[in-house]
Amino acid sequence: MKQTTIAKPVDLVGIGLHKGVPVRLRLEPLEADRGIEFFRSDANVSIPLCPENVVDTQMATVIGKEGYFISTIEHLLSAVYAYGIYNLKVIVDADEIPVMDGSSASFCMLLDEAGLQELSTPKKIMKIKKEIVVKEGDKYVKLSPSNDLNYDFTIKFAHPVIDKQSFTLNFTKEEYKNKIAKARTFGFLHEVQYLRSKGLALGGSLENAVVLDDKKVLNTEGLRFPDEFVRHKILDAIGDMSLLGVNFIGNYEAFAGSHDLNHKLTLALLKDTANYEIVELSGAEAKELAHAYA
């Protein structure tokens, strides 16, 4: 199994969630072993994708360098991970990735348009060797060894539409596209009003998020899945875990997980090389794992 990039550059323009202004996004191919690189074209600053460059996890995953940052990277990265893309340059002319419809479906379509190009260098994966858990109260995120790749997520909200939801994704590209990619980000009306008072979420609307008041969903079209909320949490987790720099194989489990807990999980995993093993995929092993790695 070989590393991949995209076959041709592709572009789109969308609204930034927090500033509410148009953002141009361009994806370009990169050669083998370059990983995912972000570039602020308005500032001429490159920001490599790695846990050390994470500067904020409160409302989204944000990476930064030299005083410049790029926010809300997780939805795009979730799609890139699902497509098994190992090398990619992500160019934006602002400080956030366009929110599109609040899911990763638009980014999947953009990657379909770009196509995939196989490179000559073998693909590497990270095999989880030990259980790693990060807890805060009753909330936790966990990685454990496995020969498969699964995301098992549970959420619980004191809201009649959400309540307690659980979903398990047995990861493949097609399962991701069919069951996860269309799940939108969500928020509560009182939170949106507060954020706007602080100059944030200026681009947020019913066009790019599921919004709830105290009793119901405000979007006239309703939900895309009855459990769209927990499915979106898996979408976020896949994007957050892509900051490891390579695909991993193992089980991810979370209760009330967040961008912050996911970031702390990547740091805890990478802290000790005994926690994982980097393996080149070749021969029979590559065929065995091909279903999970696009």
Which residues have a catalytic role annotated?
A: 259
The CATH fold assigned to 124-292 is lpxc deacetylase, domain 1 (3.30.1700)
Question: In DSSP terms, which residues pair with 91 in a beta bridge?
Answer: 26, 39
Query: For domain 2-122, which CATH number applies: 3.40.50.2300, 3.30.230.20, 3.30.70.20, 1.10.10.10?
Result: 3.30.230.20
User: Is 14's pLDDT higher than 60?
Assistant: yes
**What one-letter code names the amino acid at 93?**
D
- Distance (Å, whole) CA 235 – CA 231: 6
Digit-coded pLDDT (tens) for 20-31: 889 999 999 999
Per-domain boundaries in the chain: 2-122, 124-292
> What DSSP letter does each residue of 98-149 carry, written as one string?
B-TTSSSHHHHHHHHHH-EEEEEEEPEEEEE-S-EEEEETTEEEEEE--SSE
pLDDT band at 41 (very low <50, low <70, confident <90, very high): very high
User: Is 274's pLDDT higher than 80?
Assistant: yes
Q: According to the model, what pLDDT value does residue 18 have?
A: 75
Angstrom distances, CA of residue 226 to CA of 159, 164, 232, 255: 14, 12, 12, 19
Q: According to the model, what pLDDT value does residue 251 have?
A: 97
Cα-Cα-Cα-Cα dihedral of 17, 21, 27, 28, to 10°?
-140
Containing 283, the helix (H) or strand (E) segment is: helix 283-289
N- to C-terminal Cα distance for the chain? 10
Digit-coded pLDDT (tens) for 81-113: 999 998 999 999 999 999 999 999 999 999 999
Q: What is the pTM of this model?
A: 0.94
